[in-house]
Amino acid sequence: MATFFNTYGFLIVSMLLAALLALSLYLPLMAGQLSLASPGFYALGGYIAAVLSTRVFVTQPGGLFPVPLVLLEMLIGGLASGVLAIIVGVPALRLRGIYLALATIAFIEIVQVLALNLEITGGAVGIFGIPQPFKTQIEYIWIAAPLLLIVALFVYRLERTRVGRAFIAIREDELAADAMGVNPTTNKVLAFTMGAIVAGTVGALGAHFLNTWNARQGTFDASIGYLAFVLIGGSWTFLGPVLGGMALTALPEVLRSMSDNGALPSWLGEFMKDGRFIIYGFLLVLGTVFLPQGFVSPALFERRSKRKEGKEVPPASPAQRGQGLGVS
């Protein structure tokens, strides 16, 4: 068990963080907005924590970094991301579908180039020697797990508050929602900002967790990865992104460990290790083709509740209704 936690402690916490990042992308998607900006805010949060913990909150070397300071950094990272999200979001959210997605990718790229060029971010080398609040990686679970629970509960509650319903109304039909008195711009920016706050907070924790922070964090690849978390998991309820994030983060490592335990013929073991991204890509295709609604699909719920509720037609997933790419 101890060996298990030592080996996979990092992975377990990575899975929780991935779930959180998936939720940060799910929030704007709740309001029908495909924003890929999360990695940009993730990077920002991480830089804030990295700079604060190495330059401002200096503790004596050797000792553990106080946990309350980590929480404070997370708060600052989240707030700063939120403010930036409002500044970026107000003009950008006039765009729809893939155009919005592209504008948010442009945002990520610009953040990345800035990170490479600014003095304070340490350029390509980045910031290193970030002090550790814990002795091992698994203990980060004490922050990551409650954070995930809080955010998941928040999203779960949000789905049935006035604001959440406004989001869903916009996702279902923006014009109609507008006509009903739901202000699309305000609500879209709100959803976008919430996602950014989550990403920024996770970034601040991530900087400590990874020991170092540099311009390679929060790239375009990462944003597509998060999108895969959401869509493979299912974009229909918050559980989809959470499970999708966890499963897809664990997959390459599961393949690695399967190849190591010696139960397989050696050529297959070798392939599972060296070719694990081939398998990952293959499973990504299989997953989308055979489970187009994600793991957590409406059908899954339908089966479980059929006995009591009788037959109910499952609604289509949000983007299925054509909000997605918005092309004629």
Partner 1 sequence: MQANAWSLGLRTDVTVTVNIRRRFKMFKMFRRVRLGSITALAIGAMLLVACGGELATAIPGAPTIEPTTAAGIATTVSGAADTAVAAGNTAVSGAGTVISEAATALPTTVAGAATSIAGALGSGPIPIGIGVAQTGAVALLGQEEVTGAQVAEKFFNDKGGVNGTQIKLIFQDTAGDEAGAINAFQSLINQGNVVGIVGPTLSQQAFSADPIADRAHVPVLGPSNTAKGIPQIGDYIARVSAPVAVVAPNAIDAALGINPNIKNVVVLYAQDDAFSKSETGTFQDTVKAKGLNLTQVLTFSTKDTDFQKQATDTISQKPDLVIVSGLAQDGGNLVKQLRDLGYKGLIIGGNGLNTANVFKVCQAQCDGLIIAEAYSPEANTDMNSQFKEAMKAKQGDKPPSQFNAQAFTGVQVFVEALKSLDNKSKISGMSLADLRTALNKEILAGKYDTPLGSISFTPEGEINQAKFYVAQIKMNPDGTTGTFTYIK
Partner 2 sequence: MDLTSFVQSLLNGLSIGSVYAIFALGYTLVFSILGIINFAHAAVFTLGAYFTYALVGGAVGFNGLLANKALPFGLPFALALILGSVLAGLVAVIIEVLAFRPLRAKRADPLLTLVSSLGVAILITNLIQYLVGAEPYSFPSNTYEGLPPAINFGTPNSPIPIRSAQVVIFGVSVVILVILTFIINYTQFGKALRAVAEDATTASLLGINTDFYILLAFFLSGFLGGVAGTLVGSSVTIAGPYFGISFGLKGLAVIVLGGLGSIPGAVAGGLVIGLAESFLPAELSSYRDAVAFAVLFIVLLIRPRGLLGRTQIQKV
> Does 67 engage in binding with partner 1 (CB under 8 A)?
no
* Nearest distance in Å: CB 208, partner 2: 28
Residue 257 has which token pair? 């460990």
C-alpha–C-alpha distance, residues 74 and 259, integer Å = 37
Which of 98, 110, 256, 292 binds partner 1 (CB under 8 A)? It is 256
Indicate which of partner 2, partner 1, none lies near residue 99 (CB less than 5 to 8 Å, by partner kind): partner 2
Rounded Cα distance, 92 and 203, in Å: 22
C-alpha angle with apex 80: 91 to 156, nearest 5 degrees? 85
53 binds, among partner 1, partner 2, none (CB under 5 to 8 A by kind): none
Q: Does 231 bind partner 2 (CB under 8 A)?
A: yes
Contact map string, positions 222 to 241, toward partner 1, x by CB under 8 A: ---------------x-x--
Looking at 31, 105, 222, 272, which residue binds partner 2 (CB under 8 A)? 105
- The angle formed by the CA atoms of residues 252, 113 and 14, to the nearest 5 degrees, is 25
Is 169 a binding residue for partner 1 by CB under 8 A? The answer is yes
Residue 146 binds to partner 2 (criterion: CB under 8 A): no
Which entry of partner 2, partner 1, none binds 320, CB below 5 to 8 A by partner kind? partner 2
Per-residue HEC secondary structure of 206-250 comes to HHHHHCCECCCCCCHHHHHHHHHHHHHHCCCCCHHHHHHHHHHHH
Which lies closer to partner 2 via its Cβ, residue 159 or residue 178? 178
Going by the DSSP 8-state scheme, the letter that residue 325 receives in this structure is T
Tokens of 18: 């991935």
- In DSSP terms, 127 is beta-bridged to 213
Residue 318 DSSP label: G
76 is a contact residue toward partner 2 (CB under 8 A): no
CA 20 – CA 97 distance, rounded (Å): 23
For residue 18, what are the CA distances in angstroms to 64, 90, 315? 25, 27, 27
Among positions 268, 288, 304, 315, the unique one binding partner 2 when judged by CB under 8 A? 288
User: Which amino acid appears at position 199 of this protein?
Assistant: A
Which of 120, 150, 176, 180: binder of partner 2 (CB under 8 A)? 176
Residues that bind partner 1 (CB under 8 A): 1-3, 5-11, 14, 116-117, 123-126, 128-129, 132, 134-139, 141, 145, 149, 152-153, 156, 159-160, 165, 168-169, 172-173, 175-180, 210-212, 214-217, 237, 239, 253, 256-257, 260, 273-274, 276-277, 298, 301, 304-305, 309, 312, 315
